[in-house]
Amino acid sequence: MSIKVFLEEKKGENSNGKNENLNEIYYEYDLPQNKISKVCEMLNCSIVNNIGKGGFSVVKLIHSNNIPYALKIISIYNKKFKNNIKNIELIKNEIKINKSLNHPNIVQFYNSYELNEFYLLQLEYMKLGDLKTIQKKYKKLSETLCGFIITNIIDALAYLHSNNILHRDIKSDNIMINEKLEIKLGDFSLSKKIDLNNKYKTSRSGTFPFLAPECVKKKQEISSKTIFKTDIFSLGIVMYNLLHNSHPFGYKNNMTITEYSKKIHEINPIFDMNLTSTCVNFLKGLLSKKIKKRFFIYDCIKHPWYIKLKEITKNIYEKNKDDFEKCLDEMQNFEVKDFMFENISTNTSEIYDDEKFIGKKEKRC
Ligand SMILES: Nc1ncnc2c1ncn2[C@@H]1O[C@H](COP(=O)(O)OP(=O)(O)O)[C@@H](O)[C@H]1O
Ligand SMILES: [Mg+2]
Domain 3-124 sits in which CATH superfamily?
Answer: Phosphorylase Kinase; domain 1 (3.30.200.20)
Q: What percent of the chain lies above the pLDDT cut of 70?
A: 85
Q: Is 51 in the pocket of ligand 1 (CB under 6 A)?
A: yes
| 187-243 pLDDT tens trace | 999 999 999 998 888 888 888 899 999 998 878 899 999 999 999 999 999 999 999
Residue nearest to atom 17 of ligand 1 (CA): 187
> Which class would CATH give 132-356?
mainly alpha
Confidence of residue 354 (pLDDT cuts 50, 70, 90): very low
pLDDT score for 356: 38
Mutational pocket test of ligand 1: of 118, 128, 187, the residue with most ligand atoms within 8 Å of the beta carbon: 187
Task: Count CA atoms closer than 13 A to 174's CA, side-chain side.
Answer: 26
pLDDT score for 237: 98
Q: Are residues 284 and 236 in contact, defined by beta-carbon separation less than 8 angstroms?
A: no
Q: How does strand 58-64 pair with strand 46-53?
A: antiparallel
What stretch(es) of the chain map to CATH 3.30.200.20?
3-124
175 CA to centre of ligand 1 in angstroms: 9
Rounded to an integer, the average pLDDT of 29-48 is 88
pLDDT score for 344: 81
* CA 189 to chain CA centroid, nearest Å: 12
Whether pTM exceeds 0.85? yes
Rounded to an integer, the average pLDDT of 87-99 is 94
pLDDT score for 16: 38
pLDDT score for 362: 32
- Name the residue type at position 11: K
Least confident of 17-26, 73-82, 133-142: 17-26
Q: Are residues 234 and 278 in contact, defined by beta-carbon separation less than 8 angstroms?
A: no
Phi/psi-derived region of residue 165, left when phi > 0, alpha when psi is between -120 and 50, beta in every other case: beta
* CA 302 to chain CA centroid, nearest Å: 21
pLDDT score for 348: 42
Active-site residue (options: 130, 155, 169, 299): 169
Q: What percent of the chain lies above the pLDDT cut of 90?
A: 69
| 262-313 pLDDT tens trace | 999 999 999 999 999 999 999 999 999 999 999 999 999 999 999 999 999 9
